[in-house]
Amino acid sequence: MMLLPAIMIALAALPVSGADPAPTVVQSDWGPFYARWTDVHDNTRTRALGPVYEKIETPENWQFQAVRPFHSLWDHEGDRVERREVLWPVAKASRRGDARSWRFLLTFGMNWDVNDPESRHRLWVLPFYFHGRDTKGEDYRAVFPLGGTLHEFFLWDEIRFVLFPLYVESRKNQMEAQTVLWPLLSRTEGPGIRRARFFPFYGYNEREGLGRKTFVMWPIWNQVEYTMPQNQGKGWILFPITGHLKLRDQESWWILPPLFRYHIGEEKNRLLGPWPFVQISEGATDKFYLWPLYGTKTIGTVQRDFYLWPLIWNERTEGPDTVKRRFTLVPFVQNFHETHAETEETESRYTKLWPFGSHLYHAEGPVRRTVFPDLNLFRGGPVERNYAPFWHLFVREQVGEKIDTEILWGMYRSIKRGEETRHRSLFPLVSWGREPEGRSFSLLKGLFGYERVESKKSWRFLYLFRFGDKEATQNED
């Protein structure tokens, strides 16, 4: 690890000791070995050893560093925010203010205030060991399956267990539950809630103002009684023969449940027959499935379709200002398209033809990014930060009139800033540049070179010999 910074420093020094001068936007260009430039987003970008080392410094004081595939870090010292990944997905860590969190394989740690020794914290080694301190300052510890206490575990405030599944107690708000030989025997009580289960022989779930559900020899007999003032009624299912539900505003019939169901109501009508192959509904949700061949579902302003599930998906979402469309042919095609609701002009588009490449477009800028190949099955994320640059052999980025193009991690590099500033290089053969103050040219990184700064000219020969106007010669150093 200590060798890499030394190599970078040595390479960075080469332009000072006789390499070809570069336009202002490019501070150094040694192809895939070392390069430093200002990219189309006005970030200062440093690369070394192809995709292995990268550093990005943004005008907003964000900084990204990576030694791929071992380590990457996004951080903002002023806002005290950072995100670190080590051999992802092996380990990661993050910071936000005084809060810290980390993960190593299935071990998770979090501290809500590292400067407070009494702060809330946790250490979980799934699924075996848990300890920490909750929001009320109470400590907890558990060793699975022997016993202990867990606080703030998923949806529960507290869980106590002894020789799981022998005995478990759990609590959420004022609701408490006891389970013996989970999931066979259990009892739950709380404000307006009563549940009991002797699985699979008998069980009930009763909620005040809602109703009561009961099973006998589950799943053979299930019945329900709803007591809601706006929608009262009863229902039952004799599995796998038949069933019936009758409420004030809806009614359902089952034949060979869950294969065949017919439902009629004020808000929607529904037909399943046989489920899951045929599903039809009308009303609040419009749905027509001939699974797995074809399906369409509309809920409000969102429409989703599939063909040959799960291969082909199509989605359309209408918002107040934009219309978003998404098409996916798993895993080969991804297309996201956002247009203005009134003018139908494209605001953004992302297209990926896996594994060949991807293209991104934003109308604001406009911003364009084209990559070949693109082996990432998803868009962005840890794979993009830690691994994708290894297979990005061609990258072209554009913001307005600023254009950067790279092939083979900088073996060929083209940088354009409008019509006045250009830099092109084919390492190590040739490089040339143009900017408002002048021009430059170099063959074999200084075997022969030429530079003009305003009206001053200078030449370089055999790396060591320079001659020409004094001001232009001094500018090279």
Distance, in Å, from the CA atom of 125 to the CA atom of 190, rounded to the nearest integer, reads 31
Joined together, the tokens standing for residue 282 give: 């009308």
Answer for the pair 388, 376: CB distance below 8 angstroms, yes or no: yes
Distance, in Å, from the CA atom of 222 to the CA atom of 127, rounded to the nearest integer, reads 34
Instruction: Tell me the pTM.
Output: 0.83
What pLDDT was estimated at residue 477? 36
Burial 298-322 (b: 16+ CB within 10 A, else e): eeeeebbbbeeeeeebbbbeeeeee
Distance, in Å, from the CA atom of 55 to the CA atom of 345, rounded to the nearest integer, reads 36
Closest CA to 31 of 308, 425, 446: 425
Q: How far is CA 76 from CA 61, 63, 103, 402, in A?
A: 6, 6, 21, 26
What's the farthest any 2 CA atoms get from each other in the chain?
Answer: 100
Answer for the pair 378, 388: CB distance below 8 angstroms, yes or no: no
Strands (E) across 136-259 are located at: 139-143, 147-153, 156-162, 167-172, 175-180, 185-190, 193-198, 202-207, 211-216, 221-228, 231-238, 242-247, 250-255
Distance, in Å, from the CA atom of 269 to the CA atom of 363, rounded to the nearest integer, reads 43
What pLDDT was estimated at residue 234? 96
Distance, in Å, from the CA atom of 203 to the CA atom of 145, rounded to the nearest integer, reads 26
Q: What is the DSSP string of 50-97?
A: TTTEEEEE-TTS-EEEEETTTEEEEEETTTTEEEEEETTTTEEEEEET
230: left (phi over 0), alpha (psi -120 to 50) or beta: alpha
| Neighbouring C-alpha atoms within 13 Å toward the C-beta of 344 | 0
Joined together, the tokens standing for residue 454 give: 């305003």
Please list the pLDDT of the chain residue by residue as tens digits (477 residues): 444 444 444 444 444 333 344 447 899 999 999 999 999 999 999 999 999 999 999 999 999 999 999 999 999 977 889 999 999 999 999 999 999 999 999 999 999 999 999 999 999 999 999 999 999 999 999 999 999 999 999 889 999 999 999 999 999 999 999 999 999 999 999 999 999 999 999 999 999 999 999 999 999 999 999 999 888 999 999 999 999 999 988 999 999 999 999 999 988 899 999 999 999 999 889 999 999 999 999 999 999 999 999 999 999 999 999 999 999 999 999 999 999 988 889 999 999 999 999 999 999 989 999 999 999 999 989 999 999 999 999 999 999 999 999 999 999 999 999 888 999 999 999 999 888 888 889 999 888 888 888 778 888 888 788 887 754 444 443
Q: What are phi and psi for residue 383, nearest 5 degrees?
A: -60, -40
Q: How far is CA 32 from CA 116, 127, 348, 464, in A?
A: 46, 45, 31, 24
Distance, in Å, from the CA atom of 31 to the CA atom of 458, rounded to the nearest integer, reads 24
What pLDDT was estimated at residue 470? 56
What pLDDT was estimated at residue 468? 79
Distance, in Å, from the CA atom of 307 to the CA atom of 296, rounded to the nearest integer, reads 9
Q: Any idea where the domains of the chain sit in the sequence?
A: 98-192, 200-291
Answer for the pair 363, 346: CB distance below 8 angstroms, yes or no: yes
